[in-house]
Structure 1
Amino acid sequence: MLTVVSDTHSTSSHRLTGRTLDAVREAESVVHLGDFMRGEVLDAFEDESSRLLGVYGNNDDADVRDRLPEARTFTFAGLTFAATHTRRGGGRMPLSMFGRERDADVVLFGHSHRPTFDASGEVTLLNPGSHAQPRGHRAAHAELEEMTDGGVTGRLVTVEGDTFETFTIPPAE
């Protein structure tokens, strides 16, 4: 399982609770899309996950920025994922362009704190929301499971463990 979280906004702890904490501990890999805020928070995530793939966000301090890239590309379940906190201008167009520049099938992004799955364009966009500071949205994260023939099934899940959206991202062509 790949667990995706973002926007922790903490100065001292990972602020993981409930299903989100369990998902981070159970995951083969965890992607954090930035705004840890402090190096101690990044350390706390590293302690809870077996493999952390993070990027820094606009609110991260120098310690986090020195340890993580602004963006990264990786593969999971035969799909190419491009991860970033945000792209200048926001919205679908800059995020899609970011994904196309990296030959990505999926762009993972944070910043808005709004859980979002959008497969309407050339590149699928996924924002897990914020598990710790939802700002008027549901406190959430994303969980992705590899399908037998490639691609993933996914879900947006609340901290309490309620799935509120499910989706499939087919194998790359």
Structure 2
Amino acid sequence: MLVVVSDTHAREESKLQGRTAEAVREADLVIHAGDFYREPVFDAFRSAAASLRAVYGNNDDAAIRDRVPEVRTVEYAGVRFAVTHRHRSGDTGLVMLGRGRDADAVVCGHSHRPRFDDAGRLPILNPGSHAQPRGNRPAHAELTPSDEGEGAELDGRLVTPDGETFETFQIAGGNAE
């Protein structure tokens, strides 16, 4: 399972609770889309996750910025993701970033609003914030390889720390143009 989190905004701990904590511990791979805030939080995620791929966000301290990139490409089960915290040009910029990295989807954070949008040329996944939702639903994303269909495809869901799934989606691999 791939777990996607973002926008922790903590000083000393991961603030992982409930299903979010379980998912991070169970995951084959965890993507954090930035804004850990302070280095001990980054280290807490590294300890909790079997494998962590992260980018830094606009609120991350210099110690985190020294350890992770602003943008990275991550592959999981044949699906390629461009990962960044945010893009100044909004969704258009995110799609251009993804296309430039031959990605099948883009993962971002920053807004604290969980969403999956596949209406454009490239799907965009924002897991929201598990720790500081700022008026939105607290959330993370879980993606697992699909049992159906040909080729690489992930079944995804947006999930609250209480374990409630409130949106499901699919991301297909090999769609980059």
TM-score normalised by L of structure 1: 0.97
Is residue 111 of structure 2 the alignment partner of residue 125 of structure 1? no
What is the alpha-carbon distance in structure 1 between the residues aligned to residue 6 and residue 26 of structure 2?
Answer: 17
3-state DSSP class of the match of 1:99? helix
Alpha-carbon contact 1:10-1:36 (below 8 Å) kept: yes
Gaps of 5+ in 1: none
Alpha-carbon contact 2:25-2:50 (below 8 Å) kept: yes
Identity within the alignment, %? 57
Is residue 157 of structure 2 the alignment partner of residue 155 of structure 1? yes
- 1:35-73 Cα distance to aligned partner (Å, 9 max, x none): 001110000000100000000000000000000000100
- 1:4-40 Cα distance to aligned partner (Å, 9 max, x none): 0000000111000000000000000000000001110
What is the alpha-carbon distance in structure 1 between the residues aligned to residue 75 and residue 130 of structure 2?
Answer: 24
What is the alpha-carbon distance in structure 2 between the residues aligned to residue 135 and residue 99 of structure 1?
Answer: 27
Shift of 1:172: 1.9
- 1:88-135 Cα distance to aligned partner (Å, 9 max, x none): 132x11111111111111000000000010011111100000000001
Q: Partner of 1:43 in structure 2?
A: 43
Alpha-carbon contact 2:104-2:172 (below 8 Å) kept: no
What is the alpha-carbon distance in structure 1 between the residues aligned to residue 11 and residue 24 of structure 2?
Answer: 19
Shift of 1:170: 2.4
Q: Partner of 2:168 in structure 1?
A: 166
3-state DSSP class of the match of 1:24? helix
Shift of 1:79: 1.3
What is the alpha-carbon distance in structure 2 between the residues aligned to residue 127 and residue 31 of structure 1?
Answer: 11
3-state DSSP class of the match of 2:66? helix
Q: Partner of 2:75 in structure 1?
A: 75
What is the alpha-carbon distance in structure 1 between the residues aligned to residue 61 and residue 77 of structure 2?
Answer: 32
The one-letter amino acid of 1:108's match is: V
